[in-house]
Amino acid sequence: MLAQLTQQPPDALLALIKLYSADERADKIDLGVGVYRTGQGHTPVFTSIKKAEQILVDHQDSKAYLGPEGDMGFVEALKPIIFGAGFSKLDQIDGMQTPGGTGGVRLAAALAKAAGVTKIWMGTPSWPNHAQIMKDLGVEVGTFNHASADGTADMAGLRDAIAAAAPTDAILLHGCCHNPTGIDYTLSDWEEIARLLAGKGMLPILDLAYQGLGDGLEEDAAGVRLVLEAVPEALIAYSCDKNFGLYRDRVGAIYMMGEGVDCLPCIASNGAALARANWSMPPDHGAAAVRTILEDAALTAEWKDELESMRTRINQVRARLAEAGVAGSVDLRPLAGQRGLFAILPLSKEQIAALRSDHAIYMAGSGRINIAGLTMGNIDKFIKAVATVSA
């Protein structure tokens, strides 16, 4: 039977990684892989994580199973970071650890489907795996345009989608640092979104994968919190992969907000059953390291300082790109107002290929670039190359 399977197309990003690795030019630039890099081009382990891991080495006394819910100390420790000190509905929220933010999105979509949702709306472009997850689950996807030509969020497209949706539909929204565009909703946009969703009655699925990499931990969660205060129920997928640098350790969570305290045990039991069928239990190590940090005031302060340095560097690169103005036919100025690791440049496939062949600059075929792949040492080369291929 396995011989009847059809060949699937290779992952474009993995193919790009291989091409970059094989390129022997010393000045090559990798803007494809979605990880943070320092000004020296490294993706280091956080110092706070290293210290937390040493604590685990010294004091962790068992590797026994934790169950499908994972490390609940980790889940609880994240709550003040995500929901803030003044959140009024904390007693209506339960959570579980998941294998990365991807696991959180997958479990949220599966839980929504189990609750009767048959269609999930999302803005496009979006992280490619969002649509793949929905397809695999057999959930219909409704789309709306996310980005306007001027580099801001297309609120008209979102309004039309909510108006067209059924009250039994769900909607997937990026909480901050939109992947792949870097185009976020403003606070006033979020206030309107919260009102629209509350009036419609549809289920929000909020994907918060980059908290702290935009404008700050509090600022990056502000929109999510506005929605949660306005609606009766919601699902939140969370990732620690980027803001704790734990990419390969797969550290995430799902939070489930119900209409009241009494319904939480039923919601959580369904989440646990779905998790058990999908991955049995999530990997422990990274979540234990995060919990160790957040339970220690000094380590938490050190982590926040490390996160701030990342955010500052990313926004400095954005500011430098914007200062260049228009490079060839590409207007770089909107990048200053966008946030997070990613941006999309309006380049054709031929222009992207020319950047790779003529200038050793590697980026996704969609035009998405990883801002953190640029440094003050290579950014001028990048700007000049974009101007050359798009002139």
Known catalytic residue at 242: yes
Catalytic, out of 71, 89, 94, 127: 127
Count of beta carbons in the 10 Å neighbourhood of residue 376: 11
φ and ψ at residue 30, rounded to 5 degrees: -100, 110
Please give the Cα distance from 122 to 173 (Å, whole number): 7
Catalytic residue among 207, 220, 241, 284: 207
207 as an active site residue: the answer is: yes
Please spell the DSSP secondary structure of 49-110, one letter per residue: HHHHHHHHHHH--------TT--HHHHHHHHHHHH-TT-TTGGGEEEEEEEHHHHHHHHHHH
Helix (H, G, I), strand (E, B) or coil at 36: coil
Give SS3 for 391.
Answer: coil
Output the CA–CA distances (angstroms, integers) from residue 165 to 118, 121, 262, 317, in the order listed.
11, 8, 28, 39
Calculate Rg over the CA atoms of the chain: 21
Of the residues 94, 242, 249, 303, only one is catalytic, namely 242
Tally of CB atoms within 10 A around 341: 25
Per the CB < 8 A criterion, the answer to whether 254 and 96 are in contact is: yes
- Which residues form the catalytic set? 127, 207, 242
